[in-house]
Amino acid sequence: MRKKAILITGAAGEIGQALIDALAERTATAILTLDLQMLPPEQMRRVTHIQGDILDKTLLSRLVSEYELETIYHLAALLSTRSEFTPEAAHRVNVEGTLSLLQLAAEQSEWRGQPVKFIFPSSIAAYGLPDLQTKMDYSRVREWEWNYPRTMYGCNKLYCEQLGTYFSRYYRQLAAERPVMLDFRCLRFPGLISAFTVPSGGTSDYGPEMLHHAAQNKPYACFVREDVQIPFMAMPDAVKSLLMLTQAPAEALKRPIYNVTAFSLTAAEFRNWVLRFFPQAQITFVPDVKRQGIVDSWPADLDDSAARREWGWEPDYTVERSFAEYLVPNIQQRYQG
Ligand code: AKB
C-alpha cells in the first residue's frame, strides 16, 4: 500500500524550511521533501528528504509509486534576478517542472478518486506596471489587474497560475468521463523576510539583506532607490497563509489565485526600521538601474481583500511586530550565537 504523504518541493529554500517546521508540528502525515540541496540536520530528522531534481521524471514516477500524495506544496523555483541571467533554465525549472508536478498530481487525483491539493506560491512578480506614474495611480493592485510581467520569473509564475487553473477546472474537458481533478490553490506573495534564512536570487532581497547585514555589523549598499515601494511580509505570516489556504473549505474559494500581504514600505522606510534596532547600521543607496527597473514594475501594495473575505486571511505581524518580535530577536540570536 502506498504511504500517505505531503510533498514539499524546493524544501531547502526560505519558505520550504519555514513550512517544514510548521507542518511537522501540526500533522501526523509523513512529510516528503524534494530539493537539489540537503536540508539542515535538525530538519532532516523531521522529514523524508529526497535530494534530486523536479525535472527528473524517473524520480517523480518512483515517488508516486511509493506515496499517496494528499497535498503538494510546489515551492521549487528560480527567483526573479537569477532567472534574468539564465532565462532558459528558469523556464525549464519554473514551467516544465511545474507542468510535470501538475501532471503527477492529476494522475494521483484520478487514481485515489480524491483531489490532490496543489498549493502554489506566486508573487508580486506576476504584475508589471508600465511606469512610476501608473504605479502611484494603482497603488493597491487587485488579482486581475496589470498582469503584464516584465521578468522571466514573473511570466513563468503567471503562466503556471493559468496551467494550475486549467488542470483543476478543464483538464480532459472533452473526455467521455471527466476524471477527478486536482485542487489548485495559489497565493501571490509580497517580498518575504525571514529571520532564519537569507534570500538569494530575488529582487526584493534588498529588504532582508539590509537587515541581515546590519545584524552582522556589515555595511550594505542597497541596489534600489530610497523612494521605491513594494509590499512585504514576515515569514511566519507567509507560512500561516499557506496553511490557511490549504485548510480553507473548497466552497469558500471563489477563485484559484489570491493576493496576500502584510505591510508596504519604501526602501528608505525599511532602512529606518533597521536603524531603529541597529543604530550603527551603515546602509547606503547605490541603485542598480536594471534591478531597479524590475522593482519599479512591481506594485507598491497589494489588495488582499478577496483572501480576507473568502477565507479569513489576516496577517499577525504588522511592521512593528515583525521587527520587534520576530526579526530582530531571532536575527540577533542567530549572529551573536
Ligand atoms: C523575487 O524577488 O524574485 C521574489 C519575489 C518578490 O517574487 N522574492
Indicate which residues carry an active-site annotation: 153
Q: Which atom of ligand 1 is nearest to the CA of 154?
A: 7
Statement: residue 337 has pLDDT above 70: no
pLDDT digits 0-9 by tens, 196-208: 999 999 999 999 9
Judge contact between 273 and 319, C-beta under 8 A: yes
134: CA distance to ligand 1 center in Å? Answer: 21
Mean pLDDT for all residues in the chain: 97
204: CA distance to ligand 1 center in Å? Answer: 5
Q: Which protein residue has the closest C-alpha to ligand 1 atom 7?
A: 123
**Mean pLDDT value across residues 293-313:** 98
| Residue in this structure with the C-alpha cell 506515496, named with its chain if needed | 67
Q: Which atom of ligand 1 is nearest to the CA of 157?
A: 7
Judge contact between 323 and 193, C-beta under 8 A: no
Query: What pLDDT is stored for residue 262 in this prediction?
Result: 98
| Residue in this structure with the C-alpha cell 508600465, named with its chain if needed | 130
HEC sequence for the chain = CCEEEEEEECCCCHHHHHHHHHHHHHCCCEEEEEECCCCCHHHHCCCEEEECCCCCHHHHHHHHHHEEEEEEEECCCCCHHHHHHCHHHHHHHHHHHHHHHHHHHHHHHHHHCCCCEEEEEEEHHHCCCCCHHHHHHCCEECCCCCCCCCCHHHHHHHHHHHHHHHHHHCCCCCCCCCCCCCEEEEEEECEEECCCCCCCCCCCCHHHHHHHHHHCCCCEEECCCCCCEEEEEEHHHHHHHHHHHHHCCHHHCCCCEEECCCEEEEHHHHHHHHHHHCCCCCEEECCCHHHHHHHHHCCCEECCHHHHHHHCCCCCCCHHHHHHHHHHHHHHHHHHC
| Residue in this structure with the C-alpha cell 496577517, named with its chain if needed | 315
**Best of 83, 93, 123 to mutate for ligand 1, by most ligand atoms within 8 A of CB?**
123
pLDDT digits 0-9 by tens, 96-108: 999 999 999 999 9
What are the extents of the domains in the chain?
Answer: 77-193+234-262+300-316
Tell me the torsion sign for CA atoms 266, 267, 270, 272. Answer: negative
Task: Give the Cα separation of 316 and 233 in Å (integer).
Answer: 10
Query: What pLDDT is stored for residue 336 in this prediction?
Result: 84
Cα–Cα distances in angstroms (integers) from residue 283 to residues 10, 45, 325, in the given order:
31, 39, 22
154: CA distance to ligand 1 center in Å? Answer: 9
Position with higher pLDDT, 226 vs 179:
226
Statement: residue 11 has pLDDT above 90: yes
The residue among 110, 142, 334, 132 whose CA lies nearest residue 225 is: 132
192: CA distance to ligand 1 center in Å? Answer: 8
Q: Which atom of ligand 1 is nearest to the CA of 205?
A: 2
pLDDT digits 0-9 by tens, 257-288: 999 999 999 999 999 999 999 999 999 999 99
**Mean pLDDT value across residues 159-170:** 98
Residues with CB under 6 A from ligand 1: 79-80, 123-125, 153, 191, 202-204
**Best of 83, 86, 153, 194 to mutate for ligand 1, by most ligand atoms within 8 A of CB?**
153
Domain 77-193+234-262+300-316 adopts which CATH fold?
A: Rossmann fold (3.40.50)
pLDDT digits 0-9 by tens, 19-47: 999 999 999 999 999 999 999 999 999 99
- Using a cut of 0.85, tell me whether the model's pTM lies above it: yes
123: CA distance to ligand 1 center in Å? Answer: 7
Query: What pLDDT is stored for residue 313 in this prediction?
Result: 98
pLDDT bucket at 170, cuts 50 / 70 / 90: very high
